[in-house]
Amino acid sequence: MIIRAETPADPAAIGAVLVEAFGGEQEAALVEDLRQDGALTVSLVAEIEGRIVGHVALSALKSPLCALALAPLAVSTTRQRQGIGSALIRSAIDGAGGLGATLVFILGDPNYYRRFGFTIETAAPFPSPYAGPHFMALKLTANDVAPEPVI
């Protein structure tokens, strides 16, 4: 498996993985909108034998400063539970840190995302319409970040 940055030849294959993994067009449309708006800060694919089988996106938030949102994460249904999603998340987190991001937010299953360091407690001080049991954050720096609305 190869984890690499998205290239201009990849959007159709990424869209197909998103549609397959989520069973609809909504996430594929979201990623395309982010791409068109220049808001995809990190867009990584997992490739096996020349075929894209997974994708993860990080996009910049307006607030807090230097924070990113991780979404969506998708893996082809025939390749799930093989560590591809985990590899994509770890690569995305590494990429975020390399870009100077301070926090990464996610809306997802705590049982899955805790293993990467995401916690509800880290996200709790940041007001958000998504606040709740699935709203988590990962702090990437030792510096404190002032709690401000997540947008």
pTM to 2 decimal places: 0.91
Query: Considering the domain boundaries, does residue 96 fall inside one?
Result: yes
Query: Considering the domain boundaries, does residue 11 fall inside one?
Result: yes
Domain extent at residue 70: 2-139
Query: Considering the domain boundaries, does residue 144 fall inside one?
Result: no
78: CATH: 3.40.630.30
- CA 150/CA 28 separation, integer angstroms: 23
Q: pLDDT digits over 74-129, tens only?
A: 999 999 999 999 999 999 999 999 998 999 999 999 999 999 999 999 999 999 98
- E runs forming strands in 19-90: 40-48, 51-60, 67-75
Query: Considering the domain boundaries, does residue 147 fall inside one?
Result: no
Question: What pLDDT does residue 62 have?
Answer: 86
> How many separate domains does the chain show?
1
